[in-house]
Amino acid sequence: MSHRYFRDVLPSGLRVVTVEAPHLRAAMVAAYVRVGSRHETPATSGVSHYLEHMFFRGSARYPDTVEMNARVEDAGGNLNGITTRDHGYYFTPVHPDQVGVGLDVLGDMLTRPRLRHLETERRIILEEMLDEVDERGRDIDLDNLSKRRLFAGHPLALKIAGTPETVRALGRRQLVDHFEENYVAGNLVVAVAGRVRRGEVVERTARAFRALPRGPATTEAPPPPSPSGPWLEHVDHGESQTEFRLSFRTVPERHPDAPVVQVLRRVLDDGLSSRLPYQVVERRGLAYSVHASLEFYDDVGLFEVDAASAPKSSAEVFDEVCRTLGGLCDRVVSGAELARAKRRHRMFLEFSEDSA
């Protein structure tokens, strides 16, 4: 074993995960918070993503974005943040000798943000959202369209960035309320991996996040049962390619069948010799790419297949994808094919030990 991992809980309730990996030349510092678009309402849609942007506008110790980023970059890092539907995370690689710097900056920005320049950041977010719509303002993002249909009436259907209307309506009060409710010790996990020592990580984390208030973990309402279907969501627009996604509800991440679904995905899409790329791309030349993917939440999972092709080929691509998926029902996966998928998956897990 090339690494050892530890889980500690500080007196405040903040959880700290340390992965000691002495063979690595880099370290990674990250803070995860259990809040995303599924913890919003239609009126506050986009507030988690907006707040993520605001953290990078400066904190009490690092009053502007230049000073904040320069401090991390001097430690070999690159500060970043991402909001998803069920959580957000903030991270930076750093030199192993500079882990304290990464923790200090993340701790200050997530506990003492200045929340300034709201209008500037609002304009940036509205520009960012243009990637999801066509020239008429209609949503063409496959992820948004599929979630809206799969989870209609539930917060998982909300767009991560919100809508232009909700983003324009959000004010400082909503940001502060969302921050105070969710950025509490019981709702965060700090993780550090690399050539680091557990004791130092725990000590530096406690110091960096000392201003983090106590509070419980966020809870969420479970999604409703799947609608009877199949359902079709279609947006006609003038792009040069037709994109489509097939989405299926599946087990959540802690379900005992989750590893089975992971191996099944590899049977379908794990290199050009696996079923979907071979049938659609290599054998018939119908599309440049086709992919199967998994998205796990705490209480539900999604198995999805995406493809893009010339409009004239889209019907054939769809037929071939469905025929390939149906083949899993018609005949048992061979022992050799199953062994290959499992072997590839184990290799992937081993490869991950080379990355902080």
pLDDT, tens only, 51-84: 999 999 999 999 989 999 999 999 999 999 999 9
Closest by CA to 282, choosing from 270, 291, 273, is: 273
C-alpha distances in Å from residue 251, one per residue of 23, 37, 201, 225, 273: 35, 21, 35, 12, 27
Dihedral over alpha carbons 71, 72, 73, 75 (to 10 degrees): 100
Q: Mind giving me the DSSP string for 226-293?
A: PPSS----------SSEEEEEEEEE--TTSTTHHHHHHHHHHHSSSTTSHHIIIIIIIT---SEEEEE
Angle CA(127)–CA(113)–CA(89) in degrees, nearest 5?
A: 65
Q: What is the pTM of this model?
A: 0.93
Helix (H) or strand (E) holding 110: helix 99-111
Amino acid identity of 119? E
pLDDT band at 235 (very low <50, low <70, confident <90, very high): confident
Whole-angstrom distance, CA of residue 306 vs CA of residue 302: 12
pLDDT, tens only, 105-145: 999 999 999 999 999 999 999 999 988 888 888 888 899 99
Q: What percent of the chain has pLDDT over 70?
A: 100
